[in-house]
Amino acid sequence: MKKHTAILCALMLAVSFGSFLAPSFADGGQQGTSPKVAHVPGVTENLKVWMNSKLGKPTVKEYHRKVHQNGTNCELCHGAVNPTKAPDDRNCLKCHGTREQVAQLTADLDHNPHNSPHYGIDAPCTTCHKEHQESTVYCNTCHPFKYKNFKK
Amino acid sequence: MKETEKKRSAHAGSVKSRREVLRTGALLAGGLAVGALSGCTGGENKNDLPVEKSRAPLGRWDKEYDVIVVGSGFAGMAAAIEARKTGASVLVVDKMPVFGGNSTINGGAFAVAGSPLQEKEGVKDSVDLMVQDMLKAGRGLNHMGLLKIVAAGTRGAYEFTLEHGVKFKPFLQHFGGHSVPRTLQTTISSGAGIVRPLRKSAANLGVAFRNRCKFEDFILDENDAVIGIRVKDRYEFPNEESGEFREFRAKRGVVMCSGGFSQDRRFRMMQNPRLDERVDSTNHPGATAESMQAMFGVGASPVQIDLIQLGPWSSPDEKGFGMVSQFNTIAGFPMGIMVDVRTGKRFVNELGDRKERAEAILTRQDETGKPVYPVVFCTAKGAEKAQTLKACLKYNVAWKFDTIADLAKHFGMPVEGLEEQVAMYNEAVKTGEDKQFGKPMGRAIPLDKAPFYAVRCWPKVHYTMGGVEIDTHGHVMHMRTGKPIEGLFAAGEVTGGPHGASRLGSCAVAETLVIGRIAGRNAGKRSA
C-alpha cells in the first residue's frame, strides 16, 4: 500500500519534471553504461534515484537496481525489511558464485584482488564493494594498482 | 566465514559437573559468611544451586571460551595455536574485515640465531651475539629479561613455523645492524607467508575466528581479574557507530596481540608532537591505540611509549610501505646516495640505523616547516637486485635519467652542487673511506655510469617500540602492585621492552612469534 503510493507519487513527479530533467539524466545514463551492463536505467528510474539521494535515502548501484527492485528489496542483501546491519557475504555469493569462482573471474589480472597474497580469497566482499556509498580498493591503502573494471 | 568453530557437545560448558557443584558448596560452607547463610536456607538443596564467583549475572555472556586472543597477526596466531594445544577452546577476534594485521603485509624477514641454514653456510652465531646486536640498536634501553627470552627462542619459533607449513628462501640475508647474516625470509617476501599458514593451522586445530569484531574493553571480576571482553560485533572499520555490543567470557585468559599504534595520529603525537599529518605511516589502517589504552585503563604498566620508529626508506609519492622502501633498502642506500634537493649535497650516512637516518631526513624542511623531500639515486648496476624498481617506474614513484644533469634538473637541484657531490662520493668509494659521514663503503660502487634511477624519500611511522609491561611469561603487569594482572596476557608490538630505543630489522617477527607462543601457552594452562 505505502509502496504503491510512493511509486505513484514518484511517477507523477516524473511526468511533471520530465521535460526539464530528461536531457541531463539521459546523458548521465549514457555515460554510465558499458557494453556489458545488462540493465540500462531509464529517465524515470534515474529521477527516482536522484530524488532518493537528495532525501538521504540509501541509493543502489546502477548495475544492481533491477535485481534490487530499485532499492526496495532490502531483504536480498540484508536479510531484513528494515536492516540495521551490513549485509552478510553469503548474500553476495548467492548471486556471484563461490569465492573461488569470483577469484577465477579476475585471475588474468597482474594483481588478483580476489585472491591476494596477503588475504587469499578470504577478504569479505564489502571490504571493497560498497552499495550505498563509493567503493574503494582496500589494496590501495598500500599499493597503487588500478583496476579499470572496478565500479565505484 | 564470520565464525569457524568446531561443534562442541551440548554438555561442554553448559552443565556444571556434580563435583564442581560440590566443591563450590564446600568452599562457601567452609569459608564465607554468604556461604554460611545460603547453607541455612534450604540446606538440602544447596548443592544444586548454580553459584558463580563473579560479578557477572547468570546467563550474561554472549559467548564463552577458555582463551580469547585479540588480534590476528604473528603474535595472535602463535598464541592461538599454543593455547589450543593446551586443550583450551580458543577464539580470535579482529576488528578489521581481513585477518593478519601488519604481519600479513610486512616483508616476512625473520631473524633466527642458530638456524640450520647458518650451520650449513658456516656462519658462527649465538644467542648472546643476537642479544648484543639488539642491545646496541636499542641504545641499551631494552628490558634484558625479555630480550634474552626473545633471542633464545628464535630457533624454537623457527621450527614452529616449519611445523605449520611456512616456507623460506634457501639463503641467508644480512640485515643492517646485525653482526652476521641471520635473517630468513619467506619465499613470497611477505609476512603473509607466515600468517596465512599459521591461521590455516589454527583453524584446523579448532580455533574459532571472528572478524569485524572490535575489542572495546575488559570485564573484571570483584578481584579485578580479567574474566572477559566487551566487543562490538559486526563492526565496520572505521565507522565507530557500527556494530553491536557483546560480552565474551574468557575462562582462562585474554591474550592481547593487538599490535602498535603507528596509524593513531592523536596518540602518537601525544608521545612525539612532530609525528603530525606530515608524517604518514607504513602500517595497515587499523594500527591504532585503543586496545593498549584499555590495558592502561585496568592498570597495566606503560613502557617506553614515546619510542617510535620511523622507516627512513619510504616515499612520499606512494601510500604505506609501498615499493620504494624495498628499492632504497636494497639499492638506493647501500649502492647510491641521498641528497638534499636544495644543495645537491648528502647529509647523513645512508647506512646508519633507522633512527639516525629518519631523524636526519625529517630535518629537511623549509622555513615554513614544509617537507623538502630528499632524493635517493643509484646506477643501473646498483639497482640490479631491486625487485620493485620496474613497478616503481611503472607507477611513477621512481624515475630514470641518462645524465646527472638531467636528474638534477628534474628535481630542481643545482647541477654544479650535485656533480661536485657525486665526484666526492666516487673518490670515497675509491679510497674505501667516507670522510663526510662514515658510511661503510664495503658494498658501495661509484656513480659513474648511466642510466641513473632516482626516488624521493620521506620517513613514515613504522613501529612503536613501547607498550604495556609484560613479564617473561607473557603476563601483563600492574603498574601499582608490580604483580601480574590476573587473566591478562599480551604479546607482540602492543608490549614494550624487548627492542629498547630502536628495533632491529627482522626482529619483530622473532619477538612476536616467541612471546606469542609463551603468552598463549600460559593463558591456556591457567586454571579457570
pLDDT of B477 > 80? The answer is: yes
Which pLDDT score, from 0 to 100, does residue B528 have?
60
Q: Is the pLDDT of residue B77 over 60?
A: yes
**Residue B200: what are its φ and ψ, rounded to 5°?**
-60, -45
In the predicted model, what is the mean pLDDT of residues B332-350?
Answer: 94
- Please report which confidence band the pLDDT of residue B39 belongs to, taking 50, 70 and 90 as the band edges: very low
Q: Give the model's pLDDT for residue B170.
A: 93
- Quickly tell me which residue has 563492526 as its cell: B235
Would the pLDDT of A84 be above 90? no
Does residue B347 lie in a domain region?
Answer: yes
**pLDDT confidence of A88, banded at 50, 70, 90?**
confident
Give residue B56's pLDDT band: very low, low, confident or very high (50, 70, 90): low
CA distances from B85 to B4, B89, B189, B250, B389 (A): 17, 9, 29, 16, 44
Q: Is residue B504 part of a domain?
A: no
- Position B427 in a domain: yes
- Alpha carbons B177 and B118: distance in angstroms, whole number: 17
- Sequence letter at residue B8: R
Portion 121-140 of A in contact with B at CB < 8 A: 122-124, 126-127, 138, 140
The closest CB to that of B322, out of A88, A119, A142, belongs to: A142
Q: Once rounded to an integer, what is the mean pLDDT over residues B365-383? A: 93
Question: A35 at the B interface (CB within 8 A)?
Answer: no
Confidence grade of residue B49 (pLDDT, cut at 50, 70, 90): very low
Tell me how far apart the alpha carbons of residues B404 and B126 are, in angstroms, rounded to a whole number. 45
- B333: CATH: 3.90.700.10
Terminal CA-CA length for chain A: 34
Report the pLDDT value the prediction gives residue B72, as an integer from 0 to 100.
97
Instruction: Supply the DSSP string of B435-501, one letter for each residue.
Output: TTT----SS---S-SS-EEEEE---EEEEE--EE-B-TTSEEEBTTT-SEEEEEEE-GGGB-SSSTT
Where does residue B520 fall: left (phi above 0), alpha (psi -120 to 50 degrees), or beta otherwise?
alpha
Note the pLDDT of residue A110.
Answer: 86
What mean pLDDT is reported for chain B? 87
In a domain, B229, yes or no: no
Q: Which own/partner contact pairs does B436-440 have at CB distance under 8 Å and 24+ positions apart?
A: B436/B346, B437/B346, B437/B348, B437/B349, B437/B352, B438/B349, B439/B349, B439/B350, B439/B351, B439/B352, B440/B351
Report helix angle B74-85 to B192-205, nearest 10: 30
Number of domains in chain B: 1
User: What pLDDT is stored for residue A74 in this prediction?
Assistant: 85
Residue B365 near residue B371 (C-beta atoms within 8 A): yes
Residue of A nearest to B233 (CA): A85
- Angle at which helix B144-163 crosses helix B127-137, to 10 degrees, equals 120
C-alpha cell at A71: 532499492
Q: Is B346 a catalytic residue?
A: no
Whether A118 has its CB under 8 Å from any CB of chain B: the answer is yes
Q: Which domain holds residue B336?
A: 313-458
* pLDDT at B199 > cutoff 90: no
Phi-psi label, residue B101: left if phi above 0, alpha if psi -120 to 50, beta otherwise = left
- For B322, the closest chain A residue by CA position comes to A142
- Alpha-carbon distance B475 to nearest alpha carbon in chain A (angstroms): 30
Query: Residue B23: is its pLDDT beyond 50?
Result: no
Q: Largest alpha-carbon pair distance within chain B? A: 99
Test A124 with B196 for CB contact under 8 angstroms: no
User: B245-293 pLDDT, tens per residue?
Assistant: 989 989 999 999 999 999 998 899 989 997 998 898 999 999 999 999 9
Judge: B105–A138 Cβ closer than 8 Å, yes or no: no
Q: To which H or E segment does residue B81 belong? A: helix B74-85
- Stretch B101-117: mean pLDDT: 94
pLDDT at position B471, please?
96
Closest partner residue to A123 (CB to CB) among B98, B236, B320 is: B98
Out of A120, A123, A143, closest to residue B196 by CB: A120
Indicate the residue type of A55: L
- Structural domain includes residue B326: yes
Give the position of cell 656533480.
B419
Contacts of A104 (CB under 8 A, 6+ apart): none
Domain limits of chain A?
54-141
- pLDDT of residue B379 exceeding 50, the answer is yes
Please report residues of A whose CB lies closer than 8 A to that of B322.
Answer: 142-144
- Using the beta-carbon criterion (under 8 Å), do B190 and A89 form an inter-chain contact? no
Higher pLDDT, residue A152 or B201: B201
